[in-house]
Amino acid sequence: MDEEDRENVSGRIKRLGFKPQKEIVYCKLLPYADQLDDESVRMLSEIKANLGRAVMVREMRPGCGMWMARLLKYVVFHSSHFKICFWW
């Protein structure tokens, strides 16, 4: 890894706020690859905010259910950002 790649990686870590566990190799081939990190952060912020609102107003259906489903989809799709351990 040369110096430019290291700077890109450290800049990405600063921008995301964490170091991704692994990368999906094919994501960088997408035409919007430079926007994936921003989209990921924006989606997680939206999910957290709306899930918190649904819990505060005690809206279990459809609020919590819908946002929990979106959180599950987010974790499945963006699993490269998490260290996931399954205990079953």
Q: What is the pLDDT along the chain (88 residues), one digit of tens a residue?
A: 566 556 566 777 777 776 766 667 777 788 887 788 788 889 989 999 999 999 998 888 888 899 999 999 988 887 766 655 555 4
pTM of full prediction above 0.85: no
Return the pLDDT at 9. 67
Rounded alpha-carbon distances, angstroms, from residue 13 to 19, 42, 49: 5, 16, 23
CB 68 within 8 A of CB 41: no
Residue 26 is assigned to a structural domain of this protein = yes
DSSP, res 62: I
What number of other Cβ atoms are within 10 A of residue 82's Cβ?
Answer: 13
Residue 86 is assigned to a structural domain of this protein = no
Sequence-distant (6+) residues with CB within 8 A of 78 are 40, 43, 44
Q: Give how many domains the chain has, as a whole number.
A: 1
Domain extent, residue 77, equals 3-81
Residue 88 is assigned to a structural domain of this protein = no
Position 64, amino acid: C
Residue 56 is assigned to a structural domain of this protein = yes
